[in-house]
Amino acid sequence: MMPVKLMGFPSASATQQITPQLALQVLLQFDKAINTALANRVRNRVNFRGSLNTYRFCDNVWTFVLNDVEFREVTDLVKVDKVKIVACDGKSESTQNKTDK
């Protein structure tokens, strides 16, 4: 499962509006729901193109920073100045360990 970070959400935990444990539960549930939805419900394809600024591969996690990025879907075009993409293997460590043996 790929973890997703919600920008701004952790600040609710930091200001003690919700407990850190509840914040973690919400984020874990969100991760499960978004991964299921992306795997089963989304059928559209989006292409993107940009200039690679930096990339890194560390601890099985790829990080890419792209500049001047264009996202294209059939009739729509969205341009942004900078995009950061963080990607990791969707398999859990326990699943990988079982297949490695």
Interval 19-60: pLDDT, tens: 889 989 999 999 899 989 988 988 888 999 999 999 999 999
DSSP string of 24-69? Answer: HHHHHHHHHHHHHHHHHT-----EEEEEEEEEEEETTEEEEEEEEE
Taking phi over 0 as left and psi of -120 to 50 as alpha, with beta for the rest, 41 belongs to: alpha
pLDDT for the residue 68:
97
Model confidence pLDDT, tens digit, residues 71-96: 999 899 999 999 999 998 877 655 55
Question: Could you name the CATH architecture of 45-89?
Answer: Roll (2.30)
Give the list of residues 6+ apart from residue 79 with CB closer than 8 angstroms, or none: 68, 69, 70, 71
Residue 67, amino acid? N
